[in-house]
Amino acid sequence: MSLRLYDTRTRTVRPLEPVRSGHVGVYVCGPTVQAAPHVGHLRSAVALDVLHRWLLTRGESVTFVRNVTDVDDKIIHDAAHNDEPWWALSNRMTRAFDDAYDAVQVLRPTIDPRVTGHLPQIIALIERIIERGHAYASGGDVYLAVRSAPDYGVLSNQSLDALQASDKAVPHGHTGEKRDLLDFALWKGAKEGEPSWPSPWGPGRPGWHIECSAMAVEYLGEEFDVHAGGLDLVFPHHENEVAQSTCAGHPFARLWLHHGLVNAGGGEKMSKSLGNSITVADALTTTRPQVLRYGLGAAHYRSSMEWSAQVAAEAEAAYGRIETFVRNASEATAGVEPGEPKASWDEFAAALDDDLGVPQALAVVHSGVRAGNALLAAGELPALAATLAVVRRMLSVLALDPVEQWPGSTRELTPVVDGLVALAVEARAQARTRKDWAQADAIRDRLTAAGIVLEDTADGVRWRIQ
């Protein structure tokens, strides 16, 4: 496979080499469903959706697993604060996340397993780790003995000595006593008022990290292709996944892929705990969903980004140019036999094969749009028809095709905008007829200020969004 991805463990861009030829298994750390999804969550979903769609476009069979953490300290705390059962909050927020993913056309995963549906697998994995001498029970808890784990710190590039001296070393356990400050809980003994399940070590619930190891192996096998998530999960979550999985004797993930985070301003990470998040519901009140997808996906997945009104406006303008071209070119080429395209699918594919280079891929899209607009102005319809087809094929990979993927997104407004622009064009023509050049120029300037460019051609006046 020619797709190359940045591997956090080796810190290199390297080829994706599937365990099974023709099939790719991907595990994504999904949401902890304690509160409504924010724009940062959606950036993660969009970035990894591009990976999912590109693998499918390349003809790979994909098993895409995205878990749901539906029981957790934060969920229990927030549910108690809201005076509702933890499971009710969890179910309500899970539906909110599904709605947010659907709003921007993120493909549904092959399976989205929940922690509470996989207690037998989690308990069996913990038992295996204990049998291999890497974990111990203490006061109802079970802890992984970190110093027994091979190469602990390799993923996050940290040493045990540095971690021992940091605030990551916690002296206390949940209900039991740790043997080492760095040891972490695989199982948490029950506390009054918390949900619990029976286990060989007494009632309790899983620690955060063990759930992903158990569910990844359940659906993808002991060795699989890609484990993905946000940069904020590299340590401790993913580091601990590596440790407990290798302690169980599992090769686990071949490649670790991490995406950058969304900042809310001033370089501060957008998060629920910091109180600076913009919910998806709020973002969609001012930004069309296809524009939200465009804006969140336009930066390279490994880079950090900010979401603001300015970013949304820039995304609206950029995507508007694409929509206008697709609409005008589709109308002009209806029934036209395609000729030679002026857009390059090969350049687009090369960009995505190079560590999912969406910025470069979008540059190829916009180059095709500019070439297509020139063909439209010149009346070269066969080449325009071919160029349109290539541009739409590229947009489809990014889930941005205005025709097939967002058919109702602008259709309701199209007659309204067409009518209003037609009135302005007619008024300008009348001003030109009576040689009122100042009025004609004023109308053009007003349209330009509104983001609409008029083009005088031999076939009449055309317009497009800037």
Alpha helices in 221-334 (DSSP H): 239-247, 280-286, 289-297, 309-332
- Predicted confidence at residue 439, as pLDDT, reads 85
| 386: Cα within 13 Å, side-chain hemisphere | 13
3-state secondary structure of 291: helix
- Predicted confidence at residue 412, as pLDDT, reads 46
Helix (H) or strand (E) holding 271: none
How far, in Å, CA of 27 to CA of 226, rounded? 6
Instruction: Answer whether 189's CB lies under 8 Å from 207's CB.
Output: no
Helix (H) or strand (E) holding 102: helix 86-103
Among residues 140, 112, 133, the alpha carbon closest in space to that of 211 is found at 112
- Predicted confidence at residue 414, as pLDDT, reads 53
- Predicted confidence at residue 263, as pLDDT, reads 86
pTM for the model stands at: 0.86
Per-residue pLDDT in tens (0 to 9) along the chain, 466 residues: 699 999 999 999 999 999 999 999 999 999 999 999 999 999 999 999 999 999 999 999 999 999 999 999 999 999 999 999 999 999 999 999 999 999 999 999 999 999 999 999 999 999 999 999 999 999 999 999 999 999 999 999 999 988 886 776 777 788 899 999 999 999 999 999 899 999 999 999 999 999 999 999 999 999 999 999 999 999 999 999 999 999 999 999 999 999 999 987 666 666 666 667 899 999 999 999 999 999 999 999 999 999 999 999 999 999 999 999 999 999 999 999 999 999 999 999 999 999 999 999 999 999 999 999 999 999 999 999 999 999 999 999 999 999 999 986 544 445 556 677 878 888 888 888 888 888 878 888 888 877 788 777 766 787 766 5
Q: Is the dihedral of CA 320, 322, 325, 328 positive or negative?
A: negative
3-state secondary structure of 228: strand
Return the exposure string of 354-368: e unless at least 16 CB atoms fall within 10 Å of the residue's CB, then b: ebbbbebbbebbebb
- Predicted confidence at residue 196, as pLDDT, reads 97
How far, in Å, CA of 280 to CA of 301, rounded? 19
